Amino acid sequence: MKPFEAPELIPAFPEIFLALVTMCLLVFGVTRKKDDSATVAHFSIFALLAVAVVVLRFSAENLTTFNGMFITDAFAVYMKLIVLMGSAVTIFMSSRYAHSQRIARFEYPVLVMFSTLGMMLMISANDLMSLYIAIELQSLPLYVLASLQRDSVRSTEAGLKYFVLGALSSGMLLYGASLVYGYTGVTNYDAIAHVLKDEPEVPLGVLTGMILLLSGLAFKIAAVPFHMWTPDVYEGAPTSVTAFFSIVPKAAGMAMIGRVFMGPFEPMVEDWRQVIVLLSIASMTLGAIGAIAQTNIKRMIAYSSIGHAGYMLMGIAAANQAGIKGIVAYAALYMAASVGTFAVILMMKQKDRMVENIRDLSGLASRQPMVALSMAIMMFSLAGIPPMAGFFGKLFVFQAAIDAGLYMMAMFGVLTSVIAAYYYLRIIKIMYFDAPADEGLDTSTDPRLNFVLTLSTVAVILFIIVPAPLLNVAGAAASALLGG
């Protein structure tokens, strides 16, 4: 009998640390009599940034632990950094909003942190079992967050909808995982790759399992046709939570898909590539067309995020170094623009009441020129117009797709980006061209939102001048994942 060996804990230290801090904050919040949400929020931001620093220590290493169920490499490190930054920024942005919407409870940051922890584990998962656990850890707090506004019908509906569909997707994912296990006999990524490599022909069961697995994963990143929940949940959830939804889980989901399909299923690349190409084209098209008719800005952003998931999937479909590099860069640049966009959406108030209609932005350019300018820059970036950063994200994934010979997909990509440009331009048109409405938006008084907006505007503009840091990081991540 093998003697019990304690697993190496150091590679998972950031996750363990985050888990401990989160639980401490939970206990702290529960034991305090009076409302202490602000303290918890501050602590959580601090903790997330601390974890980010710790994570960065592992950037040059390639370690596995827990019997190969957990892996940390440069790819994991940089995707985790994106996730941690995104989480910290959303908590940072939402403090005043949370107070005004009376959702400022200590559970809010704690839930965000638990979800972040789940995402970090998702990125580092190297086994179907740890993958499933990580996904559940990520999803359950998200369901609760969506319905955080208990008194609002829309919010609770969003949470319930998200939960039911999320459970369905988890079921598909589990079913797929069990099929893969049944036909290969292993759940570890490396072992699966090993088994599949020796197979002369991929068994139908594994193929089915892979498709089901992909369906479950596609749900998490809201790729068409598993996007149904997105517009409703984005619209119904409190805006700060919507910001979190659209920024963070997408990056984590992409990282997870990247690792699963570049790892265990790498030998069957020709089989899954066509599925991902289809998902990508469908997402880009629906994202572009669906957003045109929207009047609610959160709903519009939901469709926009579906489209962006499609663009990121192009990088997966390319299945090469350039593709992974493109995804890492895209995720970071998309986050920069999304954060800024949501900072503006969180500023949208009339007489201290939050408004969400796109029309409410009319005449913003004359009332608050700097906010309007920043928002315009964000929109141009999301539309992928140079010289904004968003263009380069698109450039990299298109380059990867062309490199892999996927001309058709790239063609769809650029054409849908022209369609999508229409609704981003519409926001600019409303802000700049239209006559100001009788009642404009209140001037933003939240210094945090102004700070975040300034920061992301600067990032989006300056990327063209200093692209090297991000590209070097993305290159390191790609070679870590693909071992090249």
Partner 1 sequence: MITFPILSLLTFLPLVGVLFLLCVRGSEESVARNSRATALLTSVFTFVLSLYMFLNFDKSSADFQFVEEFPWLPGFNIKYKMGIDGISVFFVLLSAFLTPICILASWESITKRVKEYMIAFLLLETMMIGMFCALDMVVFYVFFEAVLIPMFIIIGVWGGARRVYASFKFFLYTLLGSVLMLLAILALYRSFGTTDIIALTEAGIPEYMQKWVFIAFFASFAVKVPMWPVHTWLPDAHVEAPTAGSVILAGVLLKMGGYGFLRLSLPILPEASVYFAPMMFALSAIAVIYTSLVALAQEDMKKLIAYSSVAHMGFVTLGIFTFNQQGVEGAMFQMLSHGVVSAALFLCVGVVYDRLHTRDINRYGGLVKNMPRYAAVFMIFAMASVGLPGTAGFVGEFLVLAGTWQASTLMTFFAATGLVLGAAYTLYLYRRVVFGELTKPDVKAMKDINLREIVIFAPLIVLVFWMGIYPSSVLTPMAPSVARVIAPYQEAKAAAAAMAQPAVVDTGGVTSKEQTEKEKEKETSPADETHDAGHGEQE
**Measured distance CA(464)–CA(460) in Å, rounded:** 8
- Among 297, 323, 280, 300, residue whose Cα is nearest residue 416: 280
For position 398 contacting partner 1 by CB under 8 A, the verdict is: yes
**Measured distance CA(269)–CA(260) in Å, rounded:** 11
Using CB atoms within 10 Å of the CB of residue 14, give its burial: 0 to 12 exposed, 13 to 18 middle, 19+ buried: buried
Query: In the complex, what is the shortest distance from the CB of residue 385 to partner 1, in angstroms, rounded to a whole number?
Result: 6
For position 474 contacting partner 1 by CB under 8 A, the verdict is: yes
**Measured distance CA(287)–CA(459) in Å, rounded:** 25
The smaller minimum CB distance to partner 1, of residues 176 and 413, is found at 413
For position 443 contacting partner 1 by CB under 8 A, the verdict is: no
Q: Which of 429, 436, 443, 451 binds partner 1 (CB under 8 A)?
A: 429
Q: Which of 165, 191, 385, 458 binds partner 1 (CB under 8 A)?
A: 385
For position 472 contacting partner 1 by CB under 8 A, the verdict is: yes
Helix (H, G, I), strand (E, B) or coil at 65: strand
Q: Which of 403, 437, 454, 455 binds partner 1 (CB under 8 A)?
A: 403
Site size toward partner 1 (CB under 8 A) is 36
Q: Which of 387, 439, 443, 451 binds partner 1 (CB under 8 A)?
A: 387
**Measured distance CA(123)–CA(24) in Å, rounded:** 24
Binding mask 333-372 for partner 1 (x = CB under 8 A): --------------------------------xx--x---
Listed ranges 103-111, 113-121, 344-352, 408-416: which one lies at the site for partner 1 (CB under 8 A): 408-416
Length in residues, the chain: 484
Q: Which residues pair with 63 in a beta bridge?
A: 72
> Sign (positive/negative) of CA torsion 293, 295, 301, 302?
negative
Q: Which of 410, 427, 452, 460 binds partner 1 (CB under 8 A)?
A: 410
For position 399 contacting partner 1 by CB under 8 A, the verdict is: yes
Query: In the complex, what is the shortest distance from the CB of residue 322 to partner 1, in angstroms, rounded to a whole number?
Result: 9
Give yes or no for a contact between 112 and 244, defined as CB atoms under 8 angstroms apart.
Answer: yes
Listed ranges 73-81, 83-91, 175-183, 393-401: which one lies at the site for partner 1 (CB under 8 A): 393-401
**Measured distance CA(169)–CA(150) in Å, rounded:** 25
The smaller minimum CB distance to partner 1, of residues 27 and 414, is found at 414
Q: Which of 20, 171, 228, 433 binds partner 1 (CB under 8 A)?
A: 433
Q: Which residues pair with 125 in a beta bridge?
A: 70
Q: Which of 7, 185, 225, 386 binds partner 1 (CB under 8 A)?
A: 386
**Measured distance CA(326)–CA(481) in Å, rounded:** 13
Tokens 């929020």 label which residue? 41
Concatenate the DSSP letters of all residues of 243-307 into one string.
HHHHHHHHHHHHHHHHHHHHTTTGGGHHHHHHHHHHHHHHHHHHHHHHTTT--BHHHHHHHHHHH
The smaller minimum CB distance to partner 1, of residues 22 and 416, is found at 416
The smaller minimum CB distance to partner 1, of residues 200 and 483, is found at 483
**Measured distance CA(287)–CA(315) in Å, rounded:** 17
**Measured distance CA(484)–CA(477) in Å, rounded:** 10
Query: In the complex, what is the shortest distance from the CB of residue 451 to partner 1, in angstroms, rounded to a whole number?
Result: 18
Listed ranges 46-54, 71-79, 253-261, 465-473: which one lies at the site for partner 1 (CB under 8 A): 465-473
Judged by the rule CB under 8 A, the positions of this chain that interact with partner 1 are 325, 365-366, 369, 380, 385-387, 391-392, 395, 398-399, 402-403, 407, 410-411, 414-415, 417-418, 421-422, 425, 428-429, 432-433, 464, 467-468, 471-472, 474-475
